[in-house]
Structure formats: C-alpha cells, structure tokens
Amino acid sequence: MKLFKTVAFVVLAGVSGLASAKTIEMDVNGLVCAFCAQGISKTMKTFPASDGVLVSLEHRLVAVHLKDGQDIADADLRKAITDAGYKLVAVHRTENSLADIKARIGKQKALPQESHEHEGAMGGMKDEKHG
C-alpha cells in the first residue's frame, strides 16, 4: 500500500508539473526575417494566457511566457503557427523564464538559414532574397 501511495504521488506531481509550466518553447520552421519575427510575436500575444513572447530567428524558436496558472493548448498553437504560414516542429513546456531562454540561446550556435518561402496570412509571399 505504501508503494502505491508513493507511485500515485510521483504521477500526480508529474502531471501537476506539466500544468504549471510557465513557458512554452516551440521549434518553428520558416522564420527568417524581422517581419516573420514581428508577425509571429504579435500572433502569440493575442492568446489571453500569453504574458510575453521571445522569437529567435537564428534558432527557429518561439517562446511564450504564460500568465500564472494558464496554458495554451498545443492544437491552438499549431493552428496559429500554421495559419501564419510556418511549420510547428515541436512544443516543449518548461519552467524557464524568457530571460533564461535568451541567455541560453545566446550561447548556442545559430542554425543554418532557411529560404523565405511560406504561405498563409501573408498571401503566398515568396521572398528569394533571404535564401
């Protein structure tokens, strides 16, 4: 019985940890210019649970800091990213602040640059000069 209580506690602690994540980090393909960063940042800020946004073109990263006790469903994130013309590759919920993430990626090597071809809210924009 004691083992069952211990296992139940660990499982519940793990679940509550996911629910209390304060930042959502997303790997996003297609972000290559300041216009991309500004547009996706504006889109992420429209979520009521969003408390701040960090976009790194060099690391293909979009991070959304959440208001206390709130979350944004993966499906809603995927729809927003896709509708904006980008590809959501992965979603990670963390306890990191945006400042921590900015410091971490500042020490990492940038990813290879992508060409600028995406469709969506930008009306099929293709800009070859970024590739």
d(CA 40, CA 54) in angstroms, rounded, equals 10
Distances in Å between the Cα of 11 and the Cα atoms of 8, 68, 89 are 5, 22, 27
Structural domain containing residue 88: 20-109
Is residue 35 in some structural domain? yes
Q: Quickly count: other Cβ atoms within 10 Å of residue 25's Cβ.
A: 21
Is residue 13 in some structural domain? no
Q: Give the number of domains in the chain.
A: 1
Is residue 129 in some structural domain? no
Higher pLDDT, 106 or 46: 46
Is residue 92 in some structural domain? yes
Give the pLDDT confidence of 62-92 residue by residue, as tens digits.
Answer: 999 999 999 999 999 999 999 999 999 999 9
Q: What CATH number did the domain enclosing 99 receive?
A: 3.30.70.100
pTM, two decimals, is: 0.71
Is residue 118 in some structural domain? no
Instruction: Look at residue 26 in the predicted model and tell me its pLDDT.
Output: 98
pLDDT confidence bin for 13, thresholds 50/70/90? very low
Is residue 1 in some structural domain? no
Is residue 11 in some structural domain? no
DSSP annotation of 129: G
Backbone φ and ψ for 19, nearest 5 degrees, come out as -70, -25
Is residue 36 in some structural domain? yes
pLDDT confidence bin for 107, thresholds 50/70/90? confident
Instruction: Look at residue 24 in the predicted model and tell me its pLDDT.
Output: 98
Instruction: Look at residue 6 in the predicted model and tell me its pLDDT.
Output: 39
